[in-house]
Structure 1
Amino acid sequence: MAYVTGEKGIFIQELMDKSNEEFDKGNLEESVFLLERAWGELPNDKITYDESFLIIWGILDISILLSDVERMKKWIDKIFVADPERGDTGEREFWAGKVAYEVGDFSKARGYLEIANKKSRGRCFSTEDGDYLIFLKS
C-alpha cells in the first residue's frame, strides 16, 4: 500500500520518532508505549499501511529487550500480515524465530530461523543477532 498521509500520517510519524528518541535514552517502556499508540492511530485497515510493519518490528524489538513475553505473544502474529506488499526477505520468519527462541519454544524457533536464513541467504542476521545464529548452527 503506502504510508498514511496528511495530518494523521504526520502525527503517526511523530509518535514513531518520539519512540526512537525514548529508545535512545533507554526509556524502553515509554518507547514501546508510543509505538502502541502509533498503531492505534493507523486507519481501520491497519495492516495495509507501510507503517504497520515498522511499528510491529519496533514493538517486538523492545519486547525482546524487556523480556516481555506477553507483549511478544500479542504482537508476533501481526508481523506476518503487516504491510502485505513488503518484499518477502525472511524478516517475518526471523522475528517469529527470535520470539519463539525468547519464549523457549526452540523447535519452532529453529524452523522459523531456518526459513529466514534461506530466504535472506543469511543477510537477516546481524552482529547483534549472534545468539540466534549460534543456535541455528548448533
Structure 2
Amino acid sequence: MTMLPSYIKEKIENFVDKSNEQFNNGCHQDSILLLEEAWNLIPEPKGIYSEESYHIVKDIIETYYVLNDFKKAKEWGEKIYLTGFARIDSGEKEYINGEIAFELGNLEIAKEFFSIANDKSEGRCFDSPNRVKYLKFFKSN
C-alpha cells in the first residue's frame, strides 16, 4: 500500500478533523467542503492511497445522506470506484451505490448493485441493523 507523504497526510487529517467538528455542529455543507479540500490534496491516482481516498469519499456520501441529497451522493458514489485500490473488495462500494440508487427510485439499478454486493460479501453486506429496509427490498423481488 502506498503511503502519502507526511506533510500531505497531516494536511488531510487537519481538514478531516475540521470536517468532523463542522458535522458535529450541524454544519453539514461546511463539513463536505472541508472533505472535498482533503480529497483534492490526494495526488493522482487517488486510489493507490487506499485508506485516505476511500474514507474521505465515504464520509462525503454519508454526509449527503444526512442532507437527503442523493443526487450529490450519486456523483460521489461514482467516484468511490477511484478509491481504495488495495482494500479487500467485499462489495461495500456496490452496496453504497445500491442504497443511493434505491433512494433515487432507480430500483432495477439498486437491485443489480445489491446483487453484486451480496455476492462479493457472501451476504454480509446486509448485516447491519440500519440496512434492514434494503435487505427487505433485495429479498422481495
Q: Name the TM-score, length of structure 2 as normaliser.
A: 0.87
Structure 1, gaps ≥5 residues long: none
Question: C-alpha separation between the residues in 1 aligned to 2:17 and 2:43?
Answer: 19
What's the CA shift for 1:58? 0.8
Question: C-alpha separation between the residues in 2 aligned to 1:29 and 1:3?
Answer: 29
Corresponding residue of 2:64:
63
Question: C-alpha separation between the residues in 2 aligned to 1:135 and 1:26?
Answer: 31
SS at structure 2 position matched to 1:87: coil
What's the CA shift for 1:69? 3.1
The size of the alignment, in residue pairs, is 138
SS at structure 2 position matched to 1:85: coil
Residue correspondence of structure 1 range 39-58 to structure 2 within 5 A: 39-50=39-50, 51-58=52-59
Question: C-alpha separation between the residues in 2 aligned to 1:111 and 1:35?
Answer: 29
Q: Name the TM-score, length of structure 1 as normaliser.
A: 0.89
What's the CA shift for 1:45? 2.2
Amino acid at match of 1:63: Y
| Aligned counterpart in structure 2 of residue 132 of structure 1, from 97, 110, 134 | 134
CA contact (8 A) 1:28 1:66 kept: yes
- Relative distance call for 1:122 and 1:21 in structure 2 (3 A) is farther
Equivalent pairs: percent with the same residue? 38
Off by >6 Å, runs of 4+ in structure 1: none
CA-based RMSD of the aligned residues comes to 1.6
Amino acid at match of 1:122: G
SS at structure 1 position matched to 2:125: coil
Structure 2, gaps ≥5 residues long: none
- Relative distance call for 1:3 and 1:127 in structure 2 (3 A) is farther
CA contact (8 A) 1:64 1:102 kept: no
